[in-house]
């Protein structure tokens, strides 16, 4: 049995009828929902929560005697949720904008269930780039989600190699608890 997700945005007082067999899994504000004849069970409805992910790439710098990174280019090609890979139509990387990342996420069956709330890029020409992303989605999606892709770089000169990489998603409080001296993006 396969499942599909559909996101619906309702204006105040707008009505929506769930198709037969459909289940409401989440709402931004269940207090604003009414059910005709109490046919909608609102007891197990998820609320959107904040999450974070960090991914980066090394820099093959010009510093004297630089170490050769295992990968110096990272391309994220999709997300994995509950051990199922969902590819993007276009890869994302540390140079992607929040619009690029949201567009890629919306190419998956979870379209409309993500909101990018903030991004921060830490870039060092001698070390590499690290991108911090804060976003909102459903706990049932985020709990088993990670960003998947490939890292390329020189493993043994002159050949290059592609190495599978994955970056887990953390609840926002854990994301912030990772610490460091960098300002994390807000999740508001």
CA 24-28-34 angle, to 5 degrees, is: 60
pLDDT in tens, 73-86: 889 999 999 999 99
Asked if residue 28 is part of any domain, the answer here is no
Has residue 64 got a pLDDT over 60?
no
Q: Is 166 among the domain residues? A: yes
The alpha-carbon radius of gyration of the chain (Å, integer) is 20
How is residue 24 written in tokens? 């409401």
Is residue 21, in this structure, part of any structural domain at all? no
Given a cut of 80, whether residue 179 has pLDDT beyond it is no
Judging by DSSP bridges, how do beta strands 115-124 and 170-171 pair with one another?
A: unpaired
Average pLDDT, the chain: 82
What pLDDT score does 71 carry? 64
- CA nearest neighbour of 73 among 162, 168, 156: 162
Is the predicted pLDDT of residue 61 greater than 90, yes or no? no
Which residue range forms the structural domain that includes residue 80? 49-177
Q: What is the pLDDT of residue 170?
A: 93
Question: Which of the two residues, 77 and 28, has the higher pLDDT score?
Answer: 77
In the prediction, which pLDDT does 97 show?
A: 93
- Residue at 123 is within a domain: yes
187 belongs to a structural domain: no
Q: Please report whether residue 7 resides in a domain.
A: no
Are 114 and 106 contacting, i.e. CB atoms less than 8 angstroms apart?
Answer: yes
* Average pLDDT value for residue range 63-67: 53
Number of domains comprising the chain: 1
What φ, ψ does residue 38 adopt, rounded to 5°? Answer: 50, 35
Q: Is the pLDDT of residue 40 over 70?
A: yes
Q: How far is CA 102 from CA 22, 86, 111, 129, in A?
A: 25, 14, 9, 20
Q: Tell me if 57 is assigned to some domain.
A: yes
Alpha-carbon distance 158 to 24, whole Å? 54
Tens digit of pLDDT for each residue in 95-107? 899 999 999 999 9
Classify 176 as helix, strand or coil. helix
Residue 41 lies in a domain: no
Is there a contact between 162 and 82 (Cβ–Cβ < 8 Å)?
Answer: no
Q: Which of 40 and 182 is assigned the larger pLDDT?
A: 40
User: What is each CA distance from 70 to 47, 75, 102, 129, in whole angstroms?
Assistant: 40, 14, 28, 14
* Range scoring the smallest mean pLDDT among 33-37, 140-144, 166-170: 33-37
């Amino acid at each position: 049995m396969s499942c599909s997700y559909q996101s619906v945005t309702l204006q105040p007082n707008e009505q929506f009828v769930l198709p037969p067999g459909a289940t409401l899994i989440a709402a931004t504000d269940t207090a604003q929902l009414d059910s005709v004849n109490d046919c909608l069970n609102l007891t197990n409805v998820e609320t959107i929560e904040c999450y974070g992910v960090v991914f980066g790439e090394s820099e093959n710098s010009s510093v004297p005697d630089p170490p050769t990174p295992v990968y110096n280019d990272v391309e994220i090609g999709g997300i994995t949720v509950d051990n199922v890979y969902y590819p993007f139509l276009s890869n994302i990387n540390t140079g992607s904008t929040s619009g690029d990342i949201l567009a890629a996420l919306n190419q998956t069956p979870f379209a409309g269930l993500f909101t990018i709330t903030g991004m921060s890029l830490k870039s060092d020409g001698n070390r590499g780039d690290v991108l911090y992303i804060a976003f909102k989605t459903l706990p049932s999606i985020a709990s088993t989600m990670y960003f998947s892709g490939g890292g390329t770089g020189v493993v043994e000169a002159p050949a290059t190699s592609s190495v599978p990489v994955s970056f887990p998603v953390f609840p926002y409080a854990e994301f912030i608890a990772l610490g460091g001296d960098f300002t994390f993006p807000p999740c508001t």
